[in-house]
Amino acid sequence: MKKYFSVILIVITVFTGLKAQVDVKPMNPTETTQKFGALLQLINGFYVDTLNMNLLTEEAIVATLKQLDPHSSYISKEDVEKANEPLEGSFEGVGLTFQLYKDTILVIAPIPGGPSDRVGILAGDKIIKVNGEDAYGDKITNQWVMDHLRGKKGTEVNVSIYRHGVDGLIDFTIVRDKIPLNSIDAAFMLDNKTGYIKLNRFARNSLDEFNEAIVKLKKQGMENLVFDLRSNSGGYLSTALSISDEFLPEGKMVVYTQGIHSPRQELDATTAGEMEHGKLAVLINEGSASASEIVSGAIQDWDRGVIIGRRSFGKGLVQRPFRLPDGSVVRLTVARYYTPSGRCIQKPYNEGVDEYYKDFAHRMEHGELMNADSIHFPDSLKYTTHGGRTVYGGGGIMPDIFIPWDSTRYNELYSDLIRKGIFNSYVNDYLDANRQKLNKKYNDFQDFNKDFRITQEEFDDFISRAKEKIEVNEEQLDPNIDYLKLQLKALIARNLYDTNNYFEVLWPADSDIKKAMETINEDLVYRSYGMEE
């Protein structure tokens, strides 16, 4: 094995000895492609041990791309379809959300109208058998579930379900179908005039989802919008353009791209959009990247809305997919994104990929997540919005209103409760015992949200269970009791109703949304950022 990895290093060295740089002369095949091909032939023909030449080549490709920039990447032919799935917006399977709970597949909810929903599978059901094979125990992983429940549209899968209160197992035959992957997590009214939409990625079907949400909220009286792009890592440029188009008048530039081999291309808004009028607040954070930064940058540069939160990630590199002869794909960076004012969205990566992805830790160390004053921009990075406000380049989008990261709430205890699955474990057991009672007591989510509370006895039970798995720091617990109770309520609402209701329960405790509401509801404050309705 040592010899094998030594050979990989030899091959990689051919590629990685030079850092990515601009060619000053035409590429010489005898010094590049022919040279590398000759090396592979030599290794294959004369090396002392038997080698997996396919793997050797893939390792060399991966290492080469790593030397270029943080976002050029290689996707093997086996993984191409899987890599595209979240952005394509659908897959083929049985249509349910699940989690592994005590080595069992627990149904969180069937996707409305999907194959599982049509045959009568319910939230809280446990899948015990799949096609006669036991579906519990140590062998059950997320991959096992995917391999057994996903499949081509029109094919059948037989499952046996345990349902609380029913004797014996219930057998279902599910006909697989195309299942949509929704990119909008939530869309609801915050008050009589202001709606809220949370978008988790810019997928192929995101514009349709967005417009459906806008129509629904306008019917409920929406005039203003809080658009949540926090932790949205991006997606298709075309989708970012079309969603920006919903906010900006025709002819306004959304973004432009430019690279050494890619001439400047300007992308503009087109016809009238659904939200060109009304107050707008966009939420971003350090996890908002790429397409999220295109949208928020355009809105900021045209003074269309107030940007609230923390500096975004800073991914402003454009990748273009190139298919290789065996069906694998290289996503190669070909240009950079620039906002309408000329700001380059991409943050520096000259210290290498590893340091690039430690950026969150560096921001924490420098105090940037806690205090906007810790962020210093040189005058060379100063730009001006359409209305004359000063904004800065240097990577990412700096918000108009800074909201510090809540280190008191999102502390080590909170992290452990999530990481160890304690929240989900408690909620699953709670619903096992109380689902039928809750369904009878509350006619719908609105009744539940208004009247349901986690009792102190129930919370004490939750903490008691937590202490069996983690050390509970009382200093971290005491200030967070109300929020932890709210989190439990939100998770119960998600499992009892749907994901939308999870966010609807939590928003009154969300400082970013609360600040957005304060800004929208105070005309003078909103206009102080150069905004017009």
The model's confidence at residue 178, banded by pLDDT at 50, 70 and 90, is: confident
What CATH class does 184-405 carry? alpha beta
pLDDT tens sequence across 307-320: 999 999 999 999 99
User: Smallest Cα–Cα separation from 268: which of 255, 259, 278, 281?
Assistant: 255
Q: Which pLDDT does position 370 carry in this prediction?
A: 84
According to DSSP, the β-strands at 306-309 and 401-402 are: parallel
Strand order in the sheet with 184-189: 184-189, 194-199, 224-228, 280-284, 306-309, 401-402
Q: Which pLDDT does position 532 carry in this prediction?
A: 64
pLDDT tens sequence across 374-410: 777 777 889 999 999 999 988 899 999 999 988 888 8
The Cα–Cα gap between 101 and 424 comes to 9
pLDDT tens sequence across 122-158: 878 899 999 999 999 888 888 898 889 988 889 999 9
pLDDT tens sequence across 187-214: 999 999 999 999 999 988 999 999 999 9
Overall fold of domain 90-180: Pdz3 Domain (2.30.42)
pTM (two decimals): 0.83
User: Smallest Cα–Cα separation from 447: which of 509, 499, 507, 505?
Assistant: 505
Q: Which pLDDT does position 248 carry in this prediction?
A: 96
DSSP secondary structure letter of residue 111: P
The Cα–Cα gap between 93 and 155 comes to 9
Residue type, position 40, single letter? L
Percent share of the chain, pLDDT over 70 = 93
Q: Which pLDDT does position 14 carry in this prediction?
A: 39
According to DSSP, the β-strands at 104-110 and 96-101 are: antiparallel
Torsion of CA 363, 20, 260, 334, to 10 degrees: -70
Mapping DSSP to helix (H, G, I), strand (E, B) and coil, where does residue 75 land? Answer: strand
Average pLDDT over residues 423-438: 90
At residue 47's C-alpha, the angle toward residues 41 and 50, to 5°, is 100
Pair 89, 201: CB distance under 8 Å:
no
Give catalytic residue positions.
Answer: 290, 301, 315
Residues 6+ apart with CB under 8 A from 510: none
Residues 6+ apart with CB under 8 A from 238: none
Which range among 26-35, 107-116, 496-505 shows the weakest confidence by mean pLDDT?
107-116
pLDDT tens sequence across 71-106: 898 988 888 877 766 666 567 889 888 888 778 898
* Residue located via tokens 């039928």: 436
Q: Please give the C-alpha separations between residue 197 and each of 90, 181, 381, in angstroms, as whole numbers.
A: 21, 16, 32
The model's confidence at residue 111, banded by pLDDT at 50, 70 and 90, is: confident
The Cα–Cα gap between 491 and 426 comes to 10
According to DSSP, the β-strands at 224-228 and 253-259 are: unpaired
pLDDT tens sequence across 265-282: 999 999 878 999 999 999
Q: Mean pLDDT of all residues in the chain?
A: 88
Mapping DSSP to helix (H, G, I), strand (E, B) and coil, where does residue 251 land? Answer: coil
The Cα–Cα gap between 429 and 452 comes to 17
Pair 463, 477: CB distance under 8 Å:
yes
